[in-house]
Every structure is written in structure tokens, then in C-alpha cells.
């Protein structure tokens, strides 16, 4: 994944786009933040936000033509927020303080500003703050231009004068009753000053040198406000015409021209990075689902504006527009306290630093790759794919800590080793039209259901049903181990070819997705589609009840599998309840993408979130989902328990097997299938040492992902080699062993028949010291 790609992906997340109000506001007042402050009753903070963008708050909060309000998203759910009235309330309710302006050190460049209206005043202020020497020419005897035309009731004189106080802090030289064009020609200003801004109304213009258009407007370059005269800029009414009179646009013109003049005088690009100046259309998306339509809060005393209470109520109507659609539905995205745009930047930083900094590792490895984010994102952004690609890059760069996915990868290796892997034609046949592929987790969770399903398929289908036990490779794919994944896939393919390219019947939707995506030439159907077509087995079953159906996240885009599951349930007589997020918007059970191994706490939160969505018993058709729910105490069934009657699980609340049992179950399943179906006796390996493990230690081992098998190996090795420490107080032995990258420690003592395990733990460091017997 290269940096360019990451940049493009980052730009797709629109969470940081401005809300409609701010994008439409020509000076981009942060209305959302201002409203949030007012909603909390903090008018001082609200005024501070407002004045950050607006230099004349008393004037604008009364006479602004409020394009923000006209674009407000609340308009689609009730009526738009009365933004100008809230600005006025902020101004009226905040304690009166005089904002002090400290200009930058004085520069030797001089700028002439023509016109003392809002645009000229804003340009003067902004440039004076930057340290330029400003001379403001105003044809009349007072500043403010057409502001004085408003009736006193609408814009009190006192409000104008109070706002103009700000000029006193800045050394702007004001020359009243000086008409440029009449008293002083523009060409003189050009000679005397380093730049000129024409921000006057029509009364005092000088068109001589300026190529004025037929409709009597001064033509300027749109983005930069440059006229055809070098160093002369123009804005406001002179450029847009009197018809388009807008106080807030005048301020915006003054500000934008000040930026151009500053750049012009600094001899840098006038056009770079100026895309979102002035009003523009935002790309933001905000869902209105579940939003109650609310009318605006009426003014009880219109001439005075909102009271503090009314303003708080009105501000509370603000939707605080943002996207966050993916974060709302994903525990992973929510738990890192940000959103994809931020996360992609973090991933970018993580991958671009050659060594050392690995702040993003946890983030990158915690996503379950379930794809729900993409389903709800208006921009189709799939964080799962990004995290997997980042994992691949980390593996390629040698930056992936081996411990992150070590357990899952060892488990996959076990499943594809002789201890579990198996492929056979149906007993008595030498070819297979079909091949049942139960997947490693169903075999680990419920071996009896694998046997019952295989017998059922062999009985119902003609042409031979072969059996293949192994792992599809999903753990390697999720871990970003491309090479390992390719090896597993080609290992499968070799056996599949050897069996004569039979059509696959898979019980697990993860296997189904892996085969569909990576082996498109292999014909594959889901077991649920097969059973839906073949009909139910004729066996005694339990009484039916209402269930909430959980679709595994890997079934997300497979409607026909989801339909078949529901058909089967209906035929069995169950009452089906759909969870709020189901089918193509289903959620992960917390196991996918190896989230469970990289971030256990998050995986548990993810399961708990899912199981809290309905009080009903859950029905899953992925063994891992079923076991994840039951681990957290949710009564849950696997669909095969309904089809064949309870098998390994006698009741819904029964927990699935622990890690050690899961391995044991797989190995035993292979042995018993070989023996029962193919009459092959498998030589038992050497007898492992016998262990006594208390419930408490077993729980510890489960949390620490340590298998009984690991402990046996360590004790056997320690006893054989004598590499062990003795605790002189307790007399217990302490031994360690590192099968691959994780070091396991076990504290044990001999017993009459084997050993007692007192404690077991693991760590991710390599042990280098030498222990002498
Ligand atoms: S609802 Fe609030 S944040 Fe959204 S556009 Fe309106 S004022 Fe802005
Ligand atoms: S866990 Fe699922 S929804 Fe959340 S970011 Fe990853 S793929 Fe998207
Ligand atoms: S849904 Fe998420 S990723 Fe998509 S635009 Fe919104 S915040 Fe960004």
C-alpha cells in the first residue's frame, strides 16, 4: 500500500468537511461550534467563536444576509436554525469585554485602501494585523459606507460605532473626505503605495485605467481579486454590483483581497490552496434518520432578539452536523476515539516511519475486516481493506510484531497439518462429484454436527461426496501474511485437483468468501443452499421458539445464503426475528479479522454490543459466532443444532469448548472419521504427560491463549533436559519453552500420576540466557 493510495483514501472520508452552514458562510463562521457553546449556555465562548471569523460582530449579527441559514441542514427536519439570531444572542448575552488585537511587527510596505465600507475596513484590519502600513481613503466624512442606510431599529448607530472601536488598536491612517478619482488620481496611489485595494461603492470610483465592463463593474480575477492593473485589487460592490449587496460577502471580499495583497507583497503564489474560500458546497453527509422535525424557537420579544433561554433552546435544535456513519455502527472505530480520516493518517504515519514508531500497530490490527463500514459509508470507504493492506505492508517491511497473530497462525498451521487435515472420497467410491468442506471452527466447536452433516450429504447426493478437513487460510489473509495465505490456498487447490475438481459444499461463510474471492474457478455452494434444496433430514428435533438471526459478517454479500438460512428456519417452524443490523449490514461477532487475538478487550466489547441487541436466543450459522456469543453468556444455537437436533450443545447457554479442547476436538474428529467411515486405525502418538489443572488455572490459560498441549511440551522438555528452576520455598519447578515466537512459562510440581500445573503465562520476548541444569 503506497502513500499516494493512502492519501487518496484519506481524502474520501468526508467527516472533516464543513457543515452546510459554515460552507455557505462566506467567512466560514464555525456555526456548529458556536451553537454547541450556546446550547451549553456559554455565550462568551460562542462570541469568541463568532468573532474569530467576523470582525464586526455587532453589525453582522443584525444585518447579515445569512447564506448559512438558507443552507442549514435542519431545514430538512423542521426548519433551519436561526443562526443570525443566535449570533445576536451571543453578542448580547456575553459579558462585555474589549477584544485586544496585537499586530505583527511593522513592515515597510504600504497599502492604500479605497472605501471605508465593510470590505475596505476588513481589508485594512487584516493587513494592519499583519504589520502593513495602511492608509484608508474615504470619500465621505465617516466610515461605514452604506451601513448608515439601515434604519436605526435594524442597526442602531451605537452598534456600528462600538464595532469600529477595533480600528483604534491598529495603526490605520484614515483620510476622510478624500475621493480617489476626484481629489487624488488612482495613478498617484499606484506610485505612492506598494498595493491598492479598491473597495469603494460606485460613488468614488476611478475607472480611467481599469477596463470597466459594459455593466459598469470592475473586472477582477475571481479567486484573487486582481484587476488588470498590476498591484491594484478590487472587491465588494464595485465588483459584484449593487444588486448583489451583501454585508457578509463584502467582509469576505475584503478578507480574501487582504490575503492576495499579502501574498502579492511577499511575492508568493496568489492562487495556491485557495479552493474553499467564500461560499461553497460541502461534501459532508449527515443522516437525518431518527431526527425529529422541530420548528424554530419563536422570539417572544422580536425587537430585542432571543433571550438567553430561548437562544439555548434554539441552539439545541442544531444537529451538530457530521457524518460518523461508520463510527456509529463499529465498536472498533469508536474505541480509538476518532474516525477513518484520522485513522488513515495514523496508518500513513505508521507505515512511513522506517523503524521505531509503531503507534498505529494496535489500530491496524484491531479491525475485524467485517466490511460494515463500507455498507454505511456514503463514500464506500472500507476501513477493513485498508487495515488488511496496512498489515500486508507491515509484514513486508518486517514491522509486524510476530506476537500479534501468532496464536491464530499456529492454529491454522495445526489445522493444515497431519494432526487434522484429511481428504478422502466417500467410503467405497473412487471419485467425488461433491466435496464437503466443514472448515476448522465447526470441527473444533461441534464435531458431531460435522459427522451428521457428512452422513446426510453422502446419503442425499449422488456421484460421491468427498470430505476435506483443513483450514481455508483466512487467518493468514487477515494477518496480512500474503505468502503464507498463498501457500495454504495452493495446498487446498492441489488436493482439490487430486480429487477431480469436485464442487465444494462449505459450512462456513468465511471459507465460502475465501474460495469465491481467491479461487473463482472452484465451484462452491453453501451448505445452507444445499440443505434448502435437498430438504431437511428426517430426525427428531427440539421444540421450536422465536430466535434472532445473526448473519456472519462474511455472509454480508451473499443474499442467497441468507435466504436459504431463513427458508430452513421457517420450514423447521422457528419464528424469525431480524436484528436491527442484519443481512448486508450485519455486524461482526468479534472474531473476524483476528480482532480477538490482537485486541481481546475490544473483541469482547464487540460481542457484548451484538448480543445486547435482542433479548431472544440467537441463531448463528457460523460456529465461531455461536461460540463467541455463548462465551459472553448469550444463549445461542448453531443452525445445525436445529436441523439435526442438539448435538454437542444440549442447551443454548452451554459454552463452546476452550482452545485446548478445540484442538483436541479436531484431532479426535479426524481419528474417529477415519476409523468409523474408512475403517482406518490411526496409530495414537506417544502418550503425553498427564496434567492436573484446576478450573482457575484453566481460565488463566484460556485468557492467555496457552494450550494444554503447550504445557505438556514444556514439562516434557524440562523433565527430559533438566532445564528448570526450583522455587526453594514452594518446591515448585519453573520451566519455559519457545515453540515459535512466544515464550511460555509453566510453574508445576510432580504428582503421583503426572504433574500439577500451578500457573502458566507467556510473553513476547525472546529468552537469550543459558540455563544450566
Ligand atoms: S444543523 Fe447546525 S451544524 Fe447543521 S447546518 Fe444547521 S446550523 Fe450548521
Ligand atoms: S471492524 Fe468492520 S466495520 Fe469496523 S472498521 Fe473494520 S471492517 Fe469496518
Ligand atoms: S462513513 Fe465514516 S469513513 Fe465514510 S465518510 Fe463518514 S466518517 Fe468517513
pLDDT tens digits along 601-613: 999 999 999 999 9
Per the prediction, the chain carries an average pLDDT of 92
Of all ligands present, the nearest one to the C-alpha of 372 is 2
Please classify residue 761 by burial: count the beta carbons closer than 10 Å to its beta carbon, then call 0-12 exposed, 13-18 middle and 19+ buried: middle
When pLDDT is averaged across residues 725-730 and rounded to a whole number, the result is 91
Please classify residue 257 by burial: count the beta carbons closer than 10 Å to its beta carbon, then call 0-12 exposed, 13-18 middle and 19+ buried: buried
Alpha-helical regions (H) of 330-426: 331-335, 340-352, 361-366, 372-376, 383-396, 406-415
**CATH class held by domain 407-534:** alpha beta
Lowest mean pLDDT among 243-252, 469-478, 575-584, 588-597: 243-252
Annotate 432-457 with DSSP letters as a single string.
-SEEEE--HHHHHH-HHHHHHHHHHH
What architecture (CATH level 2) is domain 110-266?
A: 3-Layer(bba) Sandwich (3.50)
Return the pLDDT at 357.
53
**C-alpha to C-alpha distance for 723 and 132, rounded to whole angstroms:** 79
From 321, 322, 323, 324, mutation site for ligand 1 pocket: most ligand atoms within 8 A of C-beta = 321
625 CA distance to ligand 3 middle (Å): 27
| Confidence grade of residue 725 (pLDDT, cut at 50, 70, 90) | very high
Q: Residue 102 pLDDT > 90, yes or no? A: no
Q: Residue 209 pLDDT > 60, yes or no? A: no
Lowest mean pLDDT among 640-644, 664-668, 678-682, 745-749: 678-682
Of all ligands present, the nearest one to the C-alpha of 599 is 2
Q: List the one residue out of 314, 291, 295 whose CA is nearest residue 35.
A: 314
519 CA distance to ligand 3 middle (Å): 31
What cell was used for 710?
Answer: 503447550
Return the pLDDT at 599.
93
Phi, psi angle pair for 173, to nearest 5°:
-85, 125
Return the pLDDT at 752.
86
Phi, psi angle pair for 371, to nearest 5°:
85, 5
Q: List the one residue out of 274, 195, 199 whose CA is nearest residue 234.
A: 199
When pLDDT is averaged across residues 128-154 and rounded to a whole number, the result is 94
Q: What is the pLDDT of residues 728-739, one digit of tens each?
A: 899 999 998 886
Residue nearest to atom 4 of ligand 3 (CA): 377
Q: Output the CA–CA distances (angstroms, integers) from residue 566 to 11, 402, 541, 644, 685, in the order listed.
A: 40, 41, 17, 16, 44
What cell was used for 316?
Answer: 439545541
Q: What is the pLDDT of residues 357-380, one digit of tens each?
A: 566 889 999 999 999 999 999 999
Lowest mean pLDDT among 85-89, 247-251, 740-744: 740-744
- Ligand 2 atom closest to the Cα of residue 330 is 4
Q: Which residues line ligand 3 (CB under 6 A)?
A: 13-15, 323-326, 339-341, 376-379, 381
Cβ partners under 8 Å of residue 207, min gap 6: 181, 218
Return the pLDDT at 350.
83
Q: Residue 726 pLDDT > 80, yes or no? A: yes
**C-alpha to C-alpha distance for 427 and 678, rounded to whole angstroms:** 6
Q: Which residue has the cell 420579544?
A: 301
Residue nearest to atom 2 of ligand 3 (CA): 326
Q: What percent of the chain has pLDDT over 90?
A: 77
624 CA distance to ligand 1 middle (Å): 43
| Confidence grade of residue 203 (pLDDT, cut at 50, 70, 90) | very low
pTM: 0.88
Alpha-helical regions (H) of 377-524: 383-396, 406-415, 440-445, 447-460, 474-478, 482-498, 509-518
**C-alpha to C-alpha distance for 468 and 449, rounded to whole angstroms:** 15
Q: List the one residue out of 408, 406, 417 whose CA is nearest residue 667.
A: 417
Lowest mean pLDDT among 132-146, 390-404, 482-496: 390-404
286 CA distance to ligand 1 middle (Å): 10
Q: Residue 169 pLDDT > 90, yes or no? A: no
Which of 179 and 508 is assigned the larger pLDDT? 508
Q: What is the pLDDT of residues 519-548, one digit of tens each?
A: 999 999 999 999 999 999 999 999 999 999
Return the pLDDT at 238.
79
Return the pLDDT at 742.
75
Q: Residue 348 pLDDT > 60, yes or no? A: yes
Say whether 470 sits in a helix, a strand or coil.
coil
Return the pLDDT at 772.
46
Return the pLDDT at 647.
83
Q: Is 19 near ligand 1, meaning CB less than 6 Å away?
A: yes
From 379, 386, 387, mutation site for ligand 3 pocket: most ligand atoms within 8 A of C-beta = 379
DSSP assigned state of 394: H
369 CA distance to ligand 2 middle (Å): 5
**C-alpha to C-alpha distance for 550 and 634, rounded to whole angstroms:** 12
What cell was used for 640?
Answer: 445445525
Amino acid at each position: 500500500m503506497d502513500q499516494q493510495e493512502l492519501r487518496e483514501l484519506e481524502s474520501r472520508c468526508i467527516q472533516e468537511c464543513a457543515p452546510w452552514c459554515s460552507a455557505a458562510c462566506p467567512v466560514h463562521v464555525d456555526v456548529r461550534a458556536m451553537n454547541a457553546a450556546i446550547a451549553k449556555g456559554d455565550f462568551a465562548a460562542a462570541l469568541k467563536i463568532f468573532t474569530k471569523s467576523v470582525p464586526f460582530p455587532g453589525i453582522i449579527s443584525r444585518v447579515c444576509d445569512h447564506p448559512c441559514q438558507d443552507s442549514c441542514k435542519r431545514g430538512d427536519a423542521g426548519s433551519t436554525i436561526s443562526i443570525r439570531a443566535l449570533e445576536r444572542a451571543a453578542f448580547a448575552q456575553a459579558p462585555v469585554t474589549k477584544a485586544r488585537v496585537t499586530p505583527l511587527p511593522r513592515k515597510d510596505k504600504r497599502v492604500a485602501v479605497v472605501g471605508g465600507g465593510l470590505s475596505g475596513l476588513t481589508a485594512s484590519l487584516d493587513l494592519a494585523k499583519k504589520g502593513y502600513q495602511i492608509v484608508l481613503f474615504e470619500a465621505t466624512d465617516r466610515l461605514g459606507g452604506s451601513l448608515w442606510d439601515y434604519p436605526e431599529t435594524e442597526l442602531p448607530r451605537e452598534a456600528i460605532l462600538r464595532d469600529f472601536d477595533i480600528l483604534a488598536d491598529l495603526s490605520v491612517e484614515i483620510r476622510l473626505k478624500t475621493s480617489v478619482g476626484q481629489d487624488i488620481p488612482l495613478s498617484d496611489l499606484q506610485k505612492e503605495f506598494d498595493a491598492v485595494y479598491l473597495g469603494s461603492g460606485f460613488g468614488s470610483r476611478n475607472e480611467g485605467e481599469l477596463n470597466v465592463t459594459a455593466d459598469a463593474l470592475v473586472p477582477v480575477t475571481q479567486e484573487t481579486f486582481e484587476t488588470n492593473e498590476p498591484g491594484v485589487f478590487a472587491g465588494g460592490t464595485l465588483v459584484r454590483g449593487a444588486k448583489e449587496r451583501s454585508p457578509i460577502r463584502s467582509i469576505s471580499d475584503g478578507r480574501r483581497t487582504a490575503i492576495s495583497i499579502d501574498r502579492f507583497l511577499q511575492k508568493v503564489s496568489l492562487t495556491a490552496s485557495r479552493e474553499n474560500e467564500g461560499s461553497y458546497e460541502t461534501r459532508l453527509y449527515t443522516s437525518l434518520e431518527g431526527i425529529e422535525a422541530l420548528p424554530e424557537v419563536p422570539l417572544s420579544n422580536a425587537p430585542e432578539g432571543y433571550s438567553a433561554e430561548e437562544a439555548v433552546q434554539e441552539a439545541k435544535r442544531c444537529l451538530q452536523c457530521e457524518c460518523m456513519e461508520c463510527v456509529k455502527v463499529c465498536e472498533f472505530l469508536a474505541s480509538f476515539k476518532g474516525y477513518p480520516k484520522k485513522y488513515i493518517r495514523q496508518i500513513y504515519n505508521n507505515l512511513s516511519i522506517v523503524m521505531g514508531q509503531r503507534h498505529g500497530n494496535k489500530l491496524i490490527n484491531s479491525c475485524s475486516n467485517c466490511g460494515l463500514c463500507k455498507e454505511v459509508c456514503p463514500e464506500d470507504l472500507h476501513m477493513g481493506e485498508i487495515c488488511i493492506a496496512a498489515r500486508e505492508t507491515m509484514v513486508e517491511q518486517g514491522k509486524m510484531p510476530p506476537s500479534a497473530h501468532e496464536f491464530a497462525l499456529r492454529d491454522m498451521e495445526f489445522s493444515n497439518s497431519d494432526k487434522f487435515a484429511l481428504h478422502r472420497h466417500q467410503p467405497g467410491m473412487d471419485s467425488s462429484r461433491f466435496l464437503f468442506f466443514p472448515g476448522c471452527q465447526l470441527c473444533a466447536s461441534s464435531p458431531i454436527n460435522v459427522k451428521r452433516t457428512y452422513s446426510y450429504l453422502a446419503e442425499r447426493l449422488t456421484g460421491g461426496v468427498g470430505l476435506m478437513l483443513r483450514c481455508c487460510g483466512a487467518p493468514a489473509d487477515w494477518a496480512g501474511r500474503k505468502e503464507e495465505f498463498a501457500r495454504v490456498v495452493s495446498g487446498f487447490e492441489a488436493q482439490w485437483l487430486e480429487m477431480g475438481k469436485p464442487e465444494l459444499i462449505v459450512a462456513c461463510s468465511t471459507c465460502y468468501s475465501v474460495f469465491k474471492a481467491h479461487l473463482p474457478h472452484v465451484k462452491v455452494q453453501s451448505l445452507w443452499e444445499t440443505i434448502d434444496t435437498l430438504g431437511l433430514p428426517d430426525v427428531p428435533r427440539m421444540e421450536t421458539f422465536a430466535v434472532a438471526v445473526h448473519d456472519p459478517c462474511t455472509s454480508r454479500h451473499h443474499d442467497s445464503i441468507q435466504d436459504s438460512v431463513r427458508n430452513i428456519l421457517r420450514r423447521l417452524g422457528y419464528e424469525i426475528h431480524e436484528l436491527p443490523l442484519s443481512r448486508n449490514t450485519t455486524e461482526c461477532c468479534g472474531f473476524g479479522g483476528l480482532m480477538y487475538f490482537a485486541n481481546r478487550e475490544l473483541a469482547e466489547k464487540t460481542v457484548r454490543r451484538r448480543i445486547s441487541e435482542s433479548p431472544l436466543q440467537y441463531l448463528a450459522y457460523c460456529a465461531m459466532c455461536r461460540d463467541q456469543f455463548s462465551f459472553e453468556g448469550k444463549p445461542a444455537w448453531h443452525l445445525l443444532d436445529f436441523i439435526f437436533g442438539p448435538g454437542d450443545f444440549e442447551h443454548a447457554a452451554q459454552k463452546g469448548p476452550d482452545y485446548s479442547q478445540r484442538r483436541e476436538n479436531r484431532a479426535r474428529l479426524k481419528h474417529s472419521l477415519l476409523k468409523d467411515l474408512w475403517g482406518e486405525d490411526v496409530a495414537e502418538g506417544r502418550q503425553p504427560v498427564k496434567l492436573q489443572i484446576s478450573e482457575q488455572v484453566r481460565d488463566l490459560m484460556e485468557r492467555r491463549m496457552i494450550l494444554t498441549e503447550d504445557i505438556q511440551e514444556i514439562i516434557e522438555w524440562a523433565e527430559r533436559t533438566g532445564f528448570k528452576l526450583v522455587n526453594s520455598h514452594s518446591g515448585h519447578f519453573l520451566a519455559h519453552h519457545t515453540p515459535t515466537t512466544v515464550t511460555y512459562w509453566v510453574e508445576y510440581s510432580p504428582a503421583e500420576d503426572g504433574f500439577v500445573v500451578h500457573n502458566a503465562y507467556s510473553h513476547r520476548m525472546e529468552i537469550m540466557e543459558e540455563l544450566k541444569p
